[in-house]
Amino acid sequence: MHPIIILVVQRLALGILLLFAASILIFAGTTMLPGDVAQQILGQGATPENLANLRAELGLNDPPVSRYFNWLGGVLQGDLGTALTNGRDIADSIGGRLKNTMFLAFWAALISVPLAIFLGLLAVRYKDRIPDKLISAVTLTTISIPEFMIGYILVYWLAIKLRWFPSVAIMNDSMSLFEKLNAIAIPVMVLTLVVLAHMMRMTRAAILNVMQSAYIETAELKGLRMLTVIRKHAFPNAVAPIVNVVMINMAYLVVGVVVVEVVFAYPGMGQYLVDHVSKRDVPVVQACGLIFAAVYIGLNLIADVVSILTNPRLRHPK
Amino acid sequence: MNDKLQQLSAAVTEGLMTRREFVARAAALGVTAAVANSMLASTAKADGHAKPVAGGTFRMGVSGGESTNTQDPAGWASDVPLATGFFWGEPLVELGEDGVLRGLVAESWEGSADASKWTFTIRQGCTFSNGAQVTAEDVMKTMERHSNEDSKSGALGIMKGIVGMSVEGNNFTCELETGNADLPFLMADYHLIIQPGGGFDDPTAAIGTGAYVMEDFEPGVRATATRRADYWGGSQEEVAHYDKVELIVLNDATARTAALQSGQVDAINRVEPKIAKLLDRSPNLSVKNVSGRGHYVFIAHVDTAPLDNNDLRLALKYAINRQELVDKILQGYGGIGNDMPINAAYPLFDETIPQREFSPEKAAEHYKKSGHDGSPIVLRVADGAFPGAVDAAALFQQSAQAAGIPLEIKREPNDGYWSEVWNVQPFCASYWGGRPVQDQMYATAYLSTADWNDTRWKREDFDAMLLEARAELDEGKRKEIYSQMGRMLNEEGGVILPMFNDFVDAISNDVQGFVGNPSGPQMYWKTFKYTWKTA
């Protein structure tokens, strides 16, 4: 069998083990937080009687270990269960939220990844000259400003002053693709500005590293144009580190954008998770945790496979 | 004085004077803010040029919604669920902006002479959105669901006094353990929305007698509803003018104001006092505030050392600079409190109770008398206790310092504050939303047996007065008893109550007919029903 297939299978098996471990950690963590879901639901309206009734109905009187295994049993049969707080089917609710999160992450990645790599290449081409410094200065500035601040600034100009795009990213199924894209225009811009610098700087550094090599000098001496040298000779050898940092940023776009979701009231996974953590709704927190962990594991796996495929020495091990 | 007042309020309606100026001028005439506000409301309403227009969509941006929200009224605790709940459902009665009860599902109601038996007559022609006429049976079932022994309802606490319920034809009767002249007010509680069969079969069905039918409900995201043609309250020209209402959950304060400014929504709640004046200056929108019954408090357990010492409590009460807190924490959008949970927004409030003033000298005097050993008094606080709680505690600490009283602020996480700190720790910051009547406020938090007695105020004489006032139908006598109870808390209670907060909303200038309701934000969530948009 091809070594890469073996690697993928091994990694997937390990991934399942990791998911299992993550679910135990999340369960223990959420259970350890002060207060339980019944107290959080009733808040100031709690009395000893309605607390006891609610706890009994939600099965909170069972020992934690048996609650965990009940949950695990359900998940292994593909049943994520229902939310304790509002009795909704978790798979249904998460489905819609996950779709929104992926939609936003997809468009943000589609714009930011090529742009970051292109700007990285441009920075190398004009190393230490004005374009390079300008690109670095601008992207490092935008990564240094907190994302909610960038959000507010863009909302002020693009939504309130110019009224080009909406300030709140409302999504629903009846909207056309164009309406949806219009709704997420500002959030996509914010996310792009936030992730650009990291990928751009890594592209620049990785390629510059390769540019020191003797074969690049040879290529230059053959009389190739600078951009051709970078594109044909330097870039393929710099792909592995770039892919790694791209994957980290894509993972961030999926699991780490809760602040942006709040600022634009975007119905994604982040806000959904935070709401349920604060209400101690363990089954939902577990389900979200599993999805987030799976995203990380999956993207890391892709990064590793791509690194191997682009490197002949790893592709054909002796 | 009356003529002068009417002249003033007419000036506001015609746009010659702002609402705040009016309240200030009215105060000069010796009228309290609450009275001035409701006065203004009635003038605005009677104003001829404002003729309702039917149609359009009303869009609200609202804070206080989570993806954990449910459509079951029993589980509502935050703003968004009850705001959406009023789209489709109605309780027996509602409390108007003038403090007077209006019948919804109940057409009329009547109490027995000792107020221990109340009969509600169900409105004929009042139908659920599934077409069925509401029966007294439905009403009784609803009340049962919120009060039986399996109840998980947030209304269980207020239903405790009801010992028997019965139905006779079109009438629903409840019998109480002791007389309660204010029972009809309790029936305005938002949990007690009348559902078919009491909602036992499907509590989340969202079928009620409201003017709108839910179209879409995504917890923590948005809710939409469309107008029913067969609403009992009348045609779209008369009431519930919009074709469609839409609510978007906007928990972030900046996102809310931006959505209003960019025209994505027509109304928002919870404008931050810090920015209210600035926001009011922007074109096409107005900030609306109404003095309410909600209050921000520092609560001490009166049975736990060191604050079991009344002199020490008095020292702290004198050491808090109320006006400074109203100015700096509420930016003037509120009023000072008097260490009792009642203000002029309540019926039967006694205006003659002397207001406690900030006095470092008196504070120092009481502090000395208390014989406290000088160890720091620990005050627990979190940002979530009330907006600006941490800053308010810091100001309190400083003014107490001036009187030589050492306060130590212990900052707690927002997460878990209501289960781990409030009603558990002996001295902490908190807030109360207020209740429609004095009886309910006292019964909720100051009766010996109350579950939410967060100051551990257990006094038999106080309880006796509360029960006496409850069954007393003579308003003069009741007012007198309430006054005594207020004075008692003011002198000896564990509640340090520096301020009552206003509800601060903002609406687009297209929206007409807005009248603040002291019960809550956004006309107590009836903006969608009583306002309309000019084309």
Distances (CA, A) of B88 to B48, B208, B226, B231: 30, 5, 9, 10
Euclidean distance between CA atoms B455 and B300, whole angstroms: 5
Q: Which of A36, A44, A147, A170 to mutate to test the interface with B (most CBs of B within 10 A)?
A: A44
| pLDDT over 60 (residue A277) | yes
pLDDT cut 90: percent of chain B above it? 71
pLDDT cut 70: percent of chain A above it? 99
pLDDT in tens, B291-344: 999 999 999 999 998 999 999 999 999 999 999 999 999 999 999 999 999 999
DSSP string, A120-151: HHHHHHTTTSHHHHHHHHHHHHHHHS-HHHHH
Q: How far is CA A271 from the centre of its chain?
A: 14
pLDDT in tens, A284-305: 998 999 899 999 889 998 998 8
- Residue B495: pLDDT band with limits 50, 70, 90: very high
pLDDT in tens, A176-218: 899 999 999 999 999 999 999 999 999 999 988 888 889 988 9
To the nearest whole number, what is the mean pLDDT of chain A? 88
The confidence score (pLDDT) of residue B46 equals 46
Say which residues have a Cβ less than 8 Å from residue B348's Cβ, sequence separation at least 6.
Answer: B438, B475, B478, B479, B482
- Residue A233: pLDDT band with limits 50, 70, 90: confident
Euclidean distance between CA atoms B48 and B44, whole angstroms: 9
Distances (CA, A) of A253 to A113, A264, B154: 12, 15, 39
Mean pLDDT, residues B496-524 taken together = 94
Are A166 and B248 inside 8 Å of each other by CB? no
pLDDT in tens, B374-432: 899 999 999 889 989 999 999 999 999 999 999 999 999 888 788 789 888 999 999 99
pLDDT in tens, B34-66: 555 555 554 554 454 568 999 999 999 999 888
The H-or-E segment that residue B175 falls in is strand B171-176
- Residue B33: pLDDT band with limits 50, 70, 90: low
Are B258 and A168 inside 8 Å of each other by CB? yes
The ipTM value here is 0.80
The confidence score (pLDDT) of residue B502 equals 93
The confidence score (pLDDT) of residue B91 equals 97
- Contacts with A279 from chain B: Cβ below 8 Å: 66, 68
Per-residue b or e along B264-298, where b marks 16 or more CB atoms closer than 10 Å to that residue's CB: bbbbbbbbbbebbeebbeeeebbbbbbbbbbbbbb
The H-or-E segment that residue B386 falls in is none
Euclidean distance between CA atoms B527 and B267, whole angstroms: 9
| pLDDT over 90 (residue B526) | yes
Least confident interval from A120-129, A228-237, B87-96, B99-108: A228-237
Mean pLDDT, residues A252-267 taken together = 89
Say which residues have a Cβ less than 8 Å from residue A230's Cβ, sequence separation at least 6.
Answer: A121, A124, A125, A207, A211
What is chain A's length? Answer: 318
| pLDDT over 50 (residue B489) | yes
Closest Cβ–Cβ partner in B68, B248, B261 for A281? B68
| pLDDT over 60 (residue B3) | no
Mean pLDDT, residues B140-145 taken together = 95
Mean pLDDT, residues A170-174 taken together = 82
The confidence score (pLDDT) of residue B23 equals 57
pLDDT in tens, B364-390: 999 999 999 989 999 999 988 998 999
The answer, yes or no, to whether the previous bond of B306 is cis (omega within 30 of 0) is: yes
The confidence score (pLDDT) of residue B38 equals 52
| pLDDT over 70 (residue B25) | no
Are A166 and B264 inside 8 Å of each other by CB? yes
- What angle, rounded to 10 degrees, do the helices at A282-310 and A90-125 form? 30
Mean pLDDT, residues B125-146 taken together = 95
Residue of B nearest to A38 (CA): B152
- Taking the CA of residue A218 and the nearest CA in chain B, the distance in Å comes to 56
The confidence score (pLDDT) of residue B44 equals 52
Q: Is the pTM of this model over 0.80?
A: yes
- Contacts with A93 from chain B: Cβ below 8 Å: 67, 219
The bridge status of strand B162-168 relative to strand B171-176 is antiparallel
The confidence score (pLDDT) of residue B415 equals 80
| pLDDT over 80 (residue B142) | yes
Q: Which two tokens stand for residue B228?
A: 């029913």
**Backbone angles phi and psi of B338, in degrees to 5:** -130, 40
- Contacts with B202 from chain A: Cβ below 8 Å: none
- Residue A76: pLDDT band with limits 50, 70, 90: confident
What is chain B's length? Answer: 535
Collapsing DSSP to helix, strand or coil, B289 comes out as strand
